[in-house]
Amino acid sequence: METRILGQEKLAVSTIGLGCMGMSWSYGEAKDKNEMIALIRSAFEQGVTFFDTAEVYGPLVNEELLGEAVAPFREEIVIATKFGFKPRESDPDQSRWSAIDSRPEHIKTVVEGSLKRLRTDHIDLYYQHRVDPNVPIEDVAGAVKDLIAAGKVKHFGLSEAGVSNIRKAHAVQPVTALQSEYSMFYRELENEVLPLLEELNIGLVPFSPLGKGFLTGKINADTKFDSTDFRTTVPRFEQENIKANMAIVELVESIALQKGVTPAQAALAWLLAQKPWIVPIPGTTRPERLSENIGAAGIQFTAAEIESINKKLAGIKVHGNRYSPAQEKMIDR
């Protein structure tokens, strides 16, 4: 697989990465550990060198899973993980890390746990998971800058940050990448964020590049999600909104038919065609879907095709918010 470059400090990663969250958390029950280790190693064998996790996924166990899986080839890959959450004091079993905490002293403490769980002496890309309204972003960037100076972190990233905080953080410590939702199903970043990233030479790592599975065409109004699947709390996946949003699935399916590829591949290839510094991280727990997603790296769209697709997308209204009301409050606008 070819590589792409993120940020002014030129972090080289595979054109498509692998999001590991769903292996341990969020999309139903955690999957079999040995099967997921095999999946991660298969991804590497197929050319993936960019793996994404976070302290809060599990919590903690997803970092442990990834650390064990990549140990045989650690120096050949890029690990991205995230800080910025902690358990609420009212949650004694610490199963729901819903409190935000990006105080510098907290960052410098929790990085040690991530390093241990990932079985490494450095984190290649360390993201602030969500902007902390109680901590100046300059202080956060300064704390990560100290970790970079200490050799514990190589690159600084932000997740779901708005333009003002991106600019402020970048002035203290260059931001290598922004990780935010971006897909044919959610294009809000195109208004202000993408132009800023281009100006500052910051890469974009889209999560949910397949619209949390919606763009694959495998979800319809009759789909029943497991009670442990977070999509049960997402307005966009309410039955009426699924029905209203099928227009975008039909567009993706028509594009896929014309190109002779799958809908998932069409959606990922569309993302790759937007900018050369965009690197999606689709997640999966199935070997066949892994290979399908990786295959999108070889699909090309012409400029005319992209222009036509974007015009059609602009005419489709997406119904329903992408997060629950509580989660929406965590998004930096």
Q: Would you name the residues annotated as active-site residues?
A: 57
Contact 51, 13 (CB under 8 A): no
Residue 326, SS3 per DSSP: helix
CA separation, residue 232 to residues 49, 149, 228, 237 (Å): 32, 42, 8, 7
Rounded-to-5 percentages of helix, strand, coil across the chain: 45, 15, 40
Neighbour count for residue 13 (Cβ, 10 Å)? 25
Which residues neighbour 329 within 8 Å (Cβ) at sequence distance 6 or greater?
none
Question: If 0-12 CB within 10 Å is exposed, 13-18 middle and 19+ buried, where does residue 119 land?
Answer: middle
Half-sphere exposure of 155 (CA within 13 A, CB side): 23
Which residues neighbour 189 within 8 Å (Cβ) at sequence distance 6 or greater?
180, 182, 204
